[in-house]
Amino acid sequence: MGERCGRVLRRAAVRDWTVAVGVTAVLLIAALSATRPADGEDLLGYAWLMTGGLALAARRRAPVAVLIVTGVCAVGQQATGVEVPAVAFLFAVYAAVRAGHRMVTVVAGVAMLVALPLAALALPPGLPVGEALGRARDALEVAWLVAAGAAGEALRQAERRAEEAERTREEAALRRADEERLHIARELHDSLTHQISIIKVQAEVAVHLASRRGEPVPEALAAIREASREATRELRATLETLRADGTATAPGLDQLPELVARARTAGLAATLTIDGQRPDLPVAVDRTAYRIVQESLTNIARHASTATASVRIDYRPGILAIRVDDDGDAAPGRAAAPGVGLLGMRERVAALGGLLRAEARDEGGFSVHAELPVGAA
């Protein structure tokens, strides 16, 4: 994005300088084609002319300053007898009105209409008033001035309407996204929430009945109860996020100890190691790190014939490193099944500009290794 903006700015600068040099060249040719021989005052007038023309290169960045400079240069030309139209000033009027400086432009235009005849009267020998007014009118007619201002105002209004239309389209897109998000939230609530609630209630009842009878609670049943509780909590948080325009709190690295503890409750011997000093992490990085560990532990419990898993979080300068290993039966020559969970991890990491490796280890087992830049937005 930054590189594209730089290219746009460079192209705009090239266009501005092209216009400035072109206007200056045309005015110089017009001035040099005058029949009267050049003298010292003419050279000063050419300097005024070139200064005013080249100043147009800055008309986008400083329209008011360019308006003043081109006006002063036009008066200087008139006072030295270089009789060319004040084209540079007209360009500056157009740019200033387009930028929204209408009142300043009106004041500058009136000042120019007064200053040009006075500058012509100062030419030696003293010109008759009628000839001085004629020269001033040739340099800047009211009609040209009005036309330049009208053109700037017309383009300004067109750009404003285009911006409003774009803003309206963006608002409509956001509104449709809000409606779709609420629709998804309702569907999840009406379907998935109901099914998970049934599982949770049945597991709670089964554990309660076993406890009342004095029977040991099976580990699988206890794991189902804990998993259903956690699923209910996460689904509730997801629904709150969908209904709150994505601003609700999502689980992050602060909840990793609880996540690993639940994995141990489900029968997986999981350990958690944290190295380094934790910096201020962007919300997206914090949430993605949690989801990577969560999905990795879920895959280990579901697919690996193992009872051991290790989770390691390493805070390095500018990098958050995550590693989850197991001692299952995965072998280097055996490709991992491209499940939805692994695909989701890759998409999350890629969106943050990070790296992800998920592969079998040489010594056996499977390893998930992710590196996330802590400056990701």
Question: Which tens digit of pLDDT belongs to each residue from 279-316?
Answer: 888 888 988 899 899 888 888 877 655 668 899 999 99
Query: pLDDT by residue (tens digit) across 312-352?
Result: 999 998 899 999 998 877 766 655 555 566 777 888 888 88
Pairing type for strands 269-275 and 319-326 reads: unpaired
pLDDT tens, 102-115? Answer: 899 899 888 888 88
Contacts of 131 (CB under 8 A, 6+ apart): 120
Phi, psi of 85 (to 5 degrees): -60, 150
Burial profile 17-35: b = 16 or more Cβ within 10 angstroms, e = fewer: eebbeebbeebbeebeeee
| pLDDT averaged per 10 residues, the chain (length 377) | 66 86 86 59 80 89 91 85 83 90 90 81 61 66 82 88 86 81 74 74 81 81 79 74 60 88 82 90 88 86 72 92 86 59 82 89 86 73
Tokens of 355: 């790296």
Q: C-alpha distances in angstroms, 101 versus 108, 142, 189, 250, 360? A: 11, 19, 55, 48, 66
pTM: 0.48
- The DSSP output letter for 123 is S
Distance CA 371, CA 285 (A): 10
Give CB contacts under 8 A, 24+ apart, made by 29-37.
Answer: 30/84, 30/85, 31/82, 31/83, 31/84, 34/82, 34/83
Dihedrals φ, ψ of 353, to 5°? 75, 25
